[in-house]
């Protein structure tokens, strides 16, 4: 009876893992491309979602959103310099932009929003596509 050595088992399993990772990367790339093509056919606003139900009962939901990156120190300094006590920032162990507060200034204090927005970069989030197949 032949017995595999530990070294041989590890080499075989490492090869299986390498092949599985390559297949996973290929599948992910295919999934992302399919999601992008689906999202292109289902228009929504920059922020929001839309669900489409196909004749066979399949439901496709496309959801879009925005990501915010902010220079929080600079925003704090702007508010201090302007004498405004409450910038739209949340304090944790790190300081981050309060996106709801940021958007509030856009609607309610455009002048402060213009000053603050020079320190904020807004980019679209990855579009999420959900598929429910019956």
Angle in degrees, CA 107, 63, 46, rounded to 5? 35
**CA torsion angle for 116, 120, 124, 126 (degrees, to 10)?**
-140
Where exactly are the structural domains of the chain?
A: 1-41, 44-134
The pLDDT tens digits for 36-75 are 999 999 999 989 999 999 999 999 999 999 999 999 889 9
**Which secondary structure element, helix H or strand E, spans residue 50, and what is its range?**
strand 48-53
**Residue-level length of the chain:** 134
Angle in degrees, CA 115, 118, 122, rounded to 5? 125
The pLDDT tens digits for 86-128 are 888 887 778 899 999 999 999 999 999 999 999 999 998 887 7
Chain-centre distance for alpha carbon 21: 23
DSSP-derived 3-state class of residue 134 = coil
- Above 70 in pLDDT, residue 81? yes
What contacts 65, CB < 8 A, 6 or more positions away? 46, 47, 124, 125
DSSP-derived 3-state class of residue 1 = coil
């Amino acid at each position: 009876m032949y017995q595999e050595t530990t070294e041989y088992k590890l080499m075989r399993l490492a090869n299986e893992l390498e092949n599985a990772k390559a297949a996973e990367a290929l599948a992910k790339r295919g999934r992302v491309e399919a999601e992008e093509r689906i999202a292109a056919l289902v228009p929504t606003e920059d922020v929001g979602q839309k669900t489409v139900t196909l004749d066979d009962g399949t439901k496709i939901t496309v959801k879009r959103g925005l990501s915010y990156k902010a220079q929080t120190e600079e925003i704090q300094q702007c508010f201090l310099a302007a004498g405004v006590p409450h910038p739209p920032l949340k304090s944790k162990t790190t300081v981050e932009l309060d996106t709801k507060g940021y958007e509030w200034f856009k609607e309610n204090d455009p002048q402060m929003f213009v000053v603050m927005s020079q320190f904020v970069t807004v980019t679209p989030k990855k579009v999420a596509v959900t598929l429910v197949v019956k």
